[in-house]
Amino acid sequence: MTGRSISHYYILRRLGAGGMGEVYEAEDTDLHRKVALKILPQDLAAHPATLDRFKREARALAALNHPNIVTIHSVEQADKFHFLTLELVEGRPLNELIPKVGFNVEKLFAIGIPLTDALAAAHARAICHRDLKPSNIMVNEQGRVKVIDFGLAKLFQPDPVVVDVEAPTLHQTVEGKILGTPCYMSPEQIEGRGLDHRTDIFSLGIVLCEMATGQRPFKGDTALSVMSSILRDAPPPLGELKPGLPEHLARIVRRCLQKDPDERYQSALDVRNDLTE
């Protein structure tokens, strides 16, 4: 795709793949600015009902206005391609920044509080990310946090789930087949139960644990064994993974990681408030 134009967007380079297609840096030749272009896979675009649902949810995301959430500019179709135009986010993904022993507490809060605030803003609009993980969290040189790749996002409503453990990020391709990334999935995602915003809170707990200790709370040699651990095992206390962490932080992570959604925090705003405290 590099070096070609779609509508008035000239594609400069491939940035990677997200939860709903490939992402490119492009020049908007009308407005003379650089944007990110996310081109939807053909198998998604081939299903009118799925495409219509995606457009509705993308429009809902476009209504979000938060400094820690990537901005969606438009949903477009041109030259047989369906694509999103998004804010081009600078910085590095969080997974490249977390030290092997985790961040110090000050750095963890500096990232964790705006991250949780971003989730609270999305949830207030009834939008669930469903693929929260460090590679979907960008941090720039000034420390500004941006949550990206809402490609698997959806409005809260029950939805049947089929999990394919062979892909690192499992993509939604047809109606009723949804995803996430196995080591950051909630138990209800794995089991195919209806999802709401509390699935993001479980994933947030995994991210906070990894930020604090450099380790994920659920481990395994394969995607299937990791998912089995998420369903079966109690997460180790934060202090066992890294001694000296505040008990209040350990309590927050422990509550995020409750397997029963009713026993977790019921809102990301409450998580944000406890982190701030």
From CA 126, how far away is CA 123, in angstroms rounded? 5
CB 211 within 8 A of CB 184: no
Q: What's the DSSP call for residue 69?
A: B
Give the closest residue to 147 by CA, choosing from 219, 204, 108. Answer: 204
Collapsing DSSP to helix, strand or coil, 194 comes out as coil
Q: What's the DSSP call for residue 172?
A: P
Q: Is 131 a catalytic residue?
A: yes
Indicate which residue of 30, 79, 131, 200 is catalytic: 131
Collapsing DSSP to helix, strand or coil, 102 comes out as coil
From CA 265, how far away is CA 202, in angstroms rounded? 9
Calculate ∠ Cα 167-169-174, nearest 5°: 85
From CA 119, how far away is CA 98, in angstroms rounded? 20
DSSP H helical segments within the chain, as ranges?
42-45, 48-62, 105-124, 187-191, 198-213, 223-232, 238-241, 247-256, 268-276
- Residue 144 amino acid letter: R
Q: How many CA atoms lie within 13 A of 63 on its CB side?
A: 12
CB 75 within 8 A of CB 206: no
Annotated catalytic residues are 131
